[in-house]
Structure 1
Amino acid sequence: MRKILVVGAGQSGLQLALGLQSHGYEVTLMSNRTPDEIRSGRVMSTQCMFDTALQHERDLQLNFWESQAPKIEGLGVSVAAPGSHDPGPTQRAIDWVGRLNGYAQSVDQRVKMAGWMETFAQRGGQVVIHGAAVGDLDYFSRTYDLVLVAAGKGELVSMFARDPERSPYSTPQRALAVAYVHGLGPRPEHPDFRAVRCNLVPGVGELFVMPTLTLSGPADILFWEGIPGGPLDVFDGVKDPAQHLALTLDLMAKFTPWEYARATKAELTDAGATLAGRYAPTVRNPVGQLPGGGLVLGVADVVVANDPITGQGSNSASKCAAAYLASILERGDKPFDEEWMRATFDRYWATAQHVTKWTNAMLAPPPEHILNLIGAAGQLQPVADRFANAFNDPADFENFFYDPEKTGAYLASVAGA
């Protein structure tokens, strides 16, 4: 029986540990927090998982919350009209919603990671509650056949060198601020249709609103992404959750009044319901070398960390875990050497590269043909639907998004259909 150590108990680390466990591997999981500490802690992310990523969970029978979490049927885009920070009918220059072919869902990672970790332990997996340092891994690498690093923050990430060719940004491109709330009303134009809402405020940033399941039941996530130094970049140093929510709502009233109109009764779901921060999107070398010469393989956002503007973090983590699981199973009893590690990462990068390209494009001011595409989706439902479903499969953006000629030809074909 092959022994594998997974360091980090997020979406990818736990999905991989549970997947390997189900195939008879002897798996040890290292986490810096217990399930109870995770549940009682601060929210860790926004997460909206689309159909492909959800299917990876179903394949491993880990979709414990599927019947409880809101089913998200669409994805809508609204663009604030220039100078329209006054109430009135001209608030939105663009406003549409695309229908997803398969529903999406969001489960608060405090709920999911705590539940999955307890399941892993109940099924006989060894859980070590310990914040791992490089020195610890040096020791463990001699006793395990493979060490996987899935802890995306902290000292361990420094083992994986930044890949400058795949990392165009060296500084954070957005200041992030998250609040989980109860009491958000529906969009009046679609009261029974649950959708992720992407509100774009040109030159300022973005507000995402998404239904979720949290510790106290169904809720919504309010998520600002502010251009650094701009009017949304005001959350640094805000420690009081009530103040964080008040700031969130004030900014909604000013920049997205159509969303603020349904948030007048919003209140935080719990004391840990807010989060703020920023990080530079980075792709790293997937193989880390330990002081003693051992090698470790980076997983998910340890090696490919994109800005959350495209909502891909937990989707990418699920897809990475699925790709790595397949590569480990195929390897049989052969050694997990450096060549295998690089090939395993390349298998994941085949899908991740599309996410990175699209995310980095969305962080920059949109060129004219993209504005035309987003505008056309308001008149042409098939365009809105295709755009929405590309969140599930970002590779499709290659066919109609980046190249002005391909965009033009696609829009002409839909308009003429």
Structure 2
Amino acid sequence: MRKILVVGAGQSGLQLALGLQSHGYEVTLMSNRTADEIRSGRVMSTQCMFHTALQHERDLKLNFWESQAPRIEGLGVSVAAPGSFDPGPSQRAIDWVGRLDGYAQSVDQRVKMAGWMEAFAQRGGQLVIHGAAVGDLDYFSRAYDLVLVSAGKGELVSMFERDASRSPYSEPQRALAVAYVHGLGPRPEHPDFDAVRCNLVPGVGELFVMPTYTLSGRADILFWEGVPGGPLDVFNGVKDPGEHLRLTLELLEKFLPWEYARATKVELTDAGGTLAGRYAPTVRKPVGRLPGGGLVLGVADVVVANDPITGQGSNSASKCAAAYLASILEHGDKPFDEEWMQQTFDRYWNTAQHVTKWTNAMLAPPPEHVLNLIGAAGQLQPVADRFANAFNDPSDFENFFYEPEKTAAYLASVTGAPAV
């Protein structure tokens, strides 16, 4: 029986630990917090998982909250008309909703990680509550066949060298601010089904609204992404959750009055229902070297950390865990050497590279052909639907998003008009 240590109990670490456990591996999971501490703590993320990532959970029978979480059947985009914020309310230059082929879902990670951690322990896994440092891993690496690092923050990440060729940004590109709320009204345009809403305010930032399942049941996430130094970059240092929500709503009223109209009665789900921060999107080399010569393999956002603007974090974590699980199972009893580690990461990078390319593109001002594409989706439902479903499979953006010629050809194929 092969012994594997997983450090970090997020989406990827837990999914991988539970997957390995189900195949008879002797798995130790190391977390810096207990399940109860996670449940009673602050929200850790926004998350909207699309069909492929959800299916990886179903395959392992980890979809514990599927019947309780809202079914997200659409993804909508609104673009505020430029120059309309001051003095009067802004209007929408673009507004549409694409329908998803398979529904998406969001479960508060406090609920999911705590539940999964308890399931891991109940199934006989060894759970160690300890904030691991590099020195600890040096010791542990000699006792395990493989050490996987899925703790995406802190000292452990520094073991993994930044891959400059895949990391165009050295500074954070957005200031992030999240509030989990009850009491959000439905969008009048589509009250009959749940959708994620992406509101773009050119030059200022973005607001995402997503239905979720949290500790107190159904809720919605209000998530601002502000251009650093701009009018949305006001959450740094705000400790009081009530003040955080007040700022969130004040910005809604100013920049997105159509969203504010349904948010006038919201309240926070709980005192831990807010989060703010920023980080630079970074791709790192996957093999970490310990002082004693041992090697560890980085997992998910330890090695590929994208900005959350495209909602891919938990999706990528699930896909990474699935790819790594398959590589470990296929490897049998052969040693987990550096070559294997690199090949295992490369297998994940085959999908992750599309996420990174698309996310980095969305952080930059959109070129004219992309604005034309987003605008066309308002008149052409197939375009809206394809755009929405590319959130599940970002590799499809290669076919119609990046190059003006491909965008024109695609739009012409939908309308039947010749490509210009």
Q: TM-score, normalised by structure 1?
A: 0.99
Cα RMSD after superposing both structures: 1.2
Counterparts of 2:87 and 2:67, CA distance in 1: 38
Change (3 A) 1:217 1:349: same
Q: Which residue of 2 aligns with 1:79?
A: 79
Aligned residues of 2:27 and 2:126 also touching (Cα < 8 A) = yes
CA deviation after TM superposition for structure 1 residue 33, in Å: 0.1
> Partner of 2:30: helix, strand, or coil?
strand
CA deviation after TM superposition for structure 1 residue 85, in Å: 2.0
Name which of structure 1's ranges 76-85 and 177-186 shifts more when overlaid on structure 2.
76-85
CA deviation after TM superposition for structure 1 residue 231, in Å: 0.2
Counterparts of 2:231 and 2:192, CA distance in 1: 33
Counterparts of 1:214 and 1:294, CA distance in 2: 40
Change (3 A) 1:89 1:260: closer
Counterparts of 1:26 and 1:96, CA distance in 2: 49
Change (3 A) 1:43 1:258: same
> Partner of 2:156: helix, strand, or coil?
helix
CA deviation after TM superposition for structure 1 residue 41, in Å: 0.1
> Partner of 1:27: helix, strand, or coil?
strand
The number of aligned residues is 417
Q: TM-score, normalised by structure 2?
A: 0.98
CA deviation after TM superposition for structure 1 residue 90, in Å: 6.4
CA deviation after TM superposition for structure 1 residue 227, in Å: 0.1
Q: Which residue of 2 aligns with 1:58?
A: 58
Q: Which residue of 2 aligns with 1:256?
A: 256
Change (3 A) 1:298 1:90: closer
Counterparts of 1:206 and 1:82, CA distance in 2: 14
Q: Which residue of 2 aligns with 1:141?
A: 141
Counterparts of 1:196 and 1:20, CA distance in 2: 33
CA deviation after TM superposition for structure 1 residue 46, in Å: 0.1
Counterparts of 1:89 and 1:209, CA distance in 2: 19
Counterparts of 1:90 and 1:353, CA distance in 2: 36
Counterparts of 1:55 and 1:94, CA distance in 2: 32
> Partner of 2:98: helix, strand, or coil?
strand
Name which of structure 1's ranges 174-183 and 84-93 shifts more when overlaid on structure 2.
84-93
Q: Deviations over 1:62-108 (max 9, x none)?
A: 00000000000000000000122269896100000000000000000
Aligned residues of 1:87 and 1:257 also touching (Cα < 8 A) = no
CA deviation after TM superposition for structure 1 residue 267, in Å: 0.2
> Partner of 2:297: helix, strand, or coil?
strand
Aligned residues of 1:19 and 1:60 also touching (Cα < 8 A) = yes
CA deviation after TM superposition for structure 1 residue 170, in Å: 0.2
Listed as ranges, the gaps of 5+ residues in structure 1 are none
Change (3 A) 1:398 1:137: same
Q: Deviations over 1:281-307 (max 9, x none)?
A: 000000000000000000000000000
Aligned residues of 1:152 and 1:301 also touching (Cα < 8 A) = yes
CA deviation after TM superposition for structure 1 residue 249, in Å: 0.2
Q: Deviations over 1:344-366 (max 9, x none)?
A: 00000000000000000000000
Q: Deviations over 1:316-359 (max 9, x none)?
A: 00000000000000000000000000000000000000000000
Counterparts of 1:32 and 1:205, CA distance in 2: 33
Listed as ranges, the gaps of 5+ residues in structure 2 are none
Percent of aligned positions that are identical: 90
Q: Deviations over 1:95-127 (max 9, x none)?
A: 000000000000000000000000000000000
Q: Which residue of 2 aligns with 1:173?
A: 173
Change (3 A) 1:90 1:37: closer
